[in-house]
C-alpha cells in the first residue's frame, strides 16, 4: 500500500463548480479508481489560496500511473480543465507533497 499526497490549484471563482462536479463524479471514473487499487481518496480545499490538497491510498505506484491512461480519466481531465490549472494534455498541474509526519 502506498500513500500519495499532492496539491493542485483552482481558478478563482470556480470553487462551487469544482465541488458540484465532484459531488456528481462519473460512476465509470469511480470504477476505474477502485479497480486500479484506490482504497481512499480525499480532496481538501484551502479557501485562502484556492489550492486543493489531495490524498490517496493505493495498492502500488504502477496501478496509480495506469489510471492516467484510462479513457474515463482523460475525459474527466478534459471536463475539469476550464476550472483549474492544467498541463497541455489536460491533466491537472500537480505538485507531489512529502510525508513529514505520521501519527502511529
Q: Is residue 104 part of a domain?
A: no
Cα 103 to Cα 19: distance, rounded to the nearest angstrom:
29
Q: What is the CATH number of the domain that holds 29?
A: 3.30.70.100
Q: What is the pLDDT along the chain (104 residues), one digit of tens a residue?
A: 999 999 999 999 999 999 999 999 999 999 999 999 999 999 999 999 999 999 999 999 999 999 999 999 999 999 999 999 999 999 999 999 999 999 98
Q: Are 57 and 45 in contact (CB under 8 A)?
A: no
pLDDT confidence of residue 104: 86
Cα 5 to Cα 70: distance, rounded to the nearest angstrom:
21
- Please identify every residue annotated as catalytic: 22
Which residues form the domain of 13? Answer: 2-96
Cα 26 to Cα 88: distance, rounded to the nearest angstrom:
23
Give me the number of domains the chain comprises. 1
DSSP 3-state percent helix, strand, coil across the chain (nearest 5): 35, 30, 40
Q: Does the model's pTM come out above 0.95?
A: no
Amino acid at each position: 500500500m502506498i500513500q500519495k499526497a499532492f496539491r493542485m490549484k483552482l481558478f478563482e471563482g470556480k470553487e462551487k463548480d469544482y465541488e458540484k462536479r465532484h459531488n456528481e463524479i462519473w460512476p465509470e471514473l469511480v470504477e476505474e479508481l477502485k479497480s486500479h487499487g484506490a482504497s481512499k481518496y480525499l480532496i481538501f480545499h484551502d479557501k485562502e489560496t484556492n489550492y486543493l490538497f489531495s490524498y490517496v491510498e493505493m495498492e502500488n505506484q504502477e496501478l496509480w500511473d495506469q489510471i492516467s491512461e484510462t479513457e474515463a480519466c482523460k475525459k474527466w481531465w478534459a471536463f475539469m480543465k476550464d476550472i483549474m490549472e492544467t498541463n497541455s494534455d489536460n491533466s491537472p498541474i500537480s505538485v507531489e507533497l512529502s510525508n513529514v509526519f505520521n501519527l502511529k
